[in-house]
Amino acid sequence: MAARNRTSRVHRIIIAGFGGQGVLTIGKVLCAAAISEGKEVTYLPSYGSEVRGGTANCHVTISDGQIFSPAIEVADSAIIMNRPSFEKFGKIVGPGGIVALNTSLVDAGGYAGSQKVTLIPIRATDLALEMGNIVVANVLLLGAFNKAVAACRMESIEQALRDLMAGRKSSGLELNLKALSEGARLADELLRAGNR
């Protein structure tokens, strides 16, 4: 399992899952981190149904140069949190891409081989429950994803989380930072194991 895009100047990323899983939030965190590093960013959210349990996704493009369209037809990578999103968006990640997948809710089967992508399987929902709060499943996947893709420095993502969770939300910051770190650690283990 080899990480790709470490030196790429453009990252076209799909983030998708159920409404209420924090899909759009981690898209915003990733964008804020990239902007803090002086990168160009586009963020294109799609709510599907604006209720908890409906579908939600966002297209995030991060580049060192000008971005000509926020829409993504072929993604370099993806963060996928549920089965319907996997069925819809798993196919648009191009060969050589990286997919961070919530394997608590999705069985990938032979997907990685058939699509020629690197899969980062993380039991995000189960791990989040073990950590004490299911809502950090998204941040676990974000940490794993960024460890594999290196779209931004991890310190920039940490700061974006701190900024997002200032004030009333600050009580959840420590757990979110722990989830980010744990996701990165798990991805590092997977990537190292794949390179042996």
What would the pLDDT profile of 64-78 be if each residue is shown by its tens digit?
999 988 889 999 999
CA 112 to CA 13: how far, in whole Å? 17
pLDDT band at 7 (very low <50, low <70, confident <90, very high): very low
Of 1 and 115, the one with more pLDDT: 115
pLDDT band at 8 (very low <50, low <70, confident <90, very high): very low
Q: In this structure, what DSSP letter does residue 171 have?
A: G
Give the pairing type, strands 55-63 and 10-18.
antiparallel
Q: Which domains does the chain possess?
A: 10-191 (3.40.920.10)
Mean pLDDT for the chain? Answer: 91
Mean pLDDT of 12-20: 94
Short-list 191, 84, 88, CA closest to 145: 191
pLDDT at 51: 53
